[in-house]
Amino acid sequence: MSASRGKHHDRPAFLARRRRRERWAESALGAAASVVVLIALGILLTLLSESLPFFRVVGLWDFLFDTEWTPLFERAHFGILPLLSATLLTGLLAMLVAVPLGVLTAVWLSEFASMRTREWAKPALELLSSIPTVVFGYFALLFVTPLLQQLIPGLPTFNLLAPSLVIGLMIVPYVSSLSEDALRAVPMDLREAAFSMGAGRWRAALWVVLPAAASGVTASAVLALSRALGETMVVAIAAGQQARLVFDPRDGAATLTTYIAQVAMGDVPRHSLAYQSLFAVGLSLFLLTLAFNVLGYWIRHRFGELSR
């Protein structure tokens, strides 16, 4: 580097060329980034403008508080609550699987596993997220549900329990990978201090390192939650496609994403109310996951500062 500068520093043409090149690269990178932002904005605008006519016909009050969702039928009801309840129930159950499994995996990977073990265990775990979700869907329908039917008599084929458990398994890598990064970022002195106080490895890991990494772990859980809420294929395949207000995971139900997939694949005429309802549901899903993403971001930054 210094040699080449010695050779060229008296040639301004070269420097100008390099500057031009740099500037060009910079603007290309900037353009790439702004394309992504613009697309996201475009999606939001489309959702808003297409669902506006929907909300002109269906009042916001009905949309938020009606307990039935039957937009394609004679008694059309447009209450988002059934879809929302199924979505949140799925997300909650998935988190009950993903958070303990993911966090414990992360603790093991960062605090206990040897370098060699970690080298193959981590990619193996991340392999889980490269399996197509349609495979997970059929896994839930054809393997998990029959298994659960042995344990829970009267469990219908389409239920929320099986797909939720499978989604929970599916998002373990999201939790474990990000949590492990957070755990490994905890300064070594904290561990050493704990050991010098007589703590064993378990005690140090669970009572000192994990709390210190709490912000990162929580953020990973929140990101995994928005992934679970947006999951489509697994629930569309294994949870049935009937919109109903659910509190019992043994029932089948349609989530926000199931409804979108179901209607988008059918042949609903454009500019009909059912067609516009797609965008209203899409907007709801967008706002829901956005809220959780913002929450995750906020937690990471807010508590990230405190723990340092």
Partner 1 sequence: MFLLVGLLAACGGPRSTGSVVRVDGSSTAYPLMEAVAEEFMRAQAGQVRVTVGVSGTGGGFKKFCRGDIDVAAASRPMAKEEASLCAANGVRFIELPLAYDAITVVVHPANTWAEELSVEQLRRLWEPGAQGALLRWRQLDPDFPDLPIRLYGAGADSGTFDYFTEAVVGKARSSRGDYTASEDDNLLVTGVAGDPGALGFFGFAYYEENATRLKAVRIRQDAVHPGVPPSRESVMQGRYRPLSRQLLLYVNMDHARDQVAIAEWVHFALLNAEPLIDEVHNIPLDALAYRRAYRDFDAALKAADELAMARVDSVPSSHGTDVR
Q: Rounded to an integer, what distance in angstroms lies between the CA atom of residue 234 and that of residue 206?
A: 33
Query: Least separation, in Å, of the C-beta of 266 and partner 1?
Result: 5
CB of 87 or CB of 145, closer to partner 1 = 145
CB of 61 or CB of 73, closer to partner 1 = 73
CB of 189 or CB of 267, closer to partner 1 = 267
Query: 22 Cβ partners below 8 Å, 6+ apart?
Result: none
Are the C-beta atoms of 277 and 78 separated by less than 8 Å?
Answer: yes
Query: Least separation, in Å, of the C-beta of 242 and partner 1?
Result: 4
Cα dihedral 13, 19, 20, 26, rounded to 10, equals 170
Query: Least separation, in Å, of the C-beta of 143 and partner 1?
Result: 13
C-alpha radius of gyration, the chain, whole number? 25
CB of 77 or CB of 118, closer to partner 1 = 77
CB of 145 or CB of 179, closer to partner 1 = 145
Terminal Cα-to-Cα distance of the chain (whole angstroms) = 37
CB of 70 or CB of 129, closer to partner 1 = 70
Query: Least separation, in Å, of the C-beta of 80 and partner 1?
Result: 15
Instruction: Count CB-CB contacts under 10 A for residue 262.
Output: 17
Query: Least separation, in Å, of the C-beta of 43 and partner 1?
Result: 22
Are the C-beta atoms of 236 and 137 separated by less than 8 Å?
Answer: yes
Q: Phi and psi (nearest 5°) for 157?
A: -55, -45
Enumerate binding residues for partner 1 (CB under 8 A).
68, 70, 72-77, 141, 145, 149, 154, 156-158, 240-244, 252, 262, 265-268
Q: Rounded to an integer, what distance in angstroms lies between the CA atom of residue 12 and that of residue 23?
A: 16
SS3 78: strand
Query: Least separation, in Å, of the C-beta of 129 and partner 1?
Result: 21
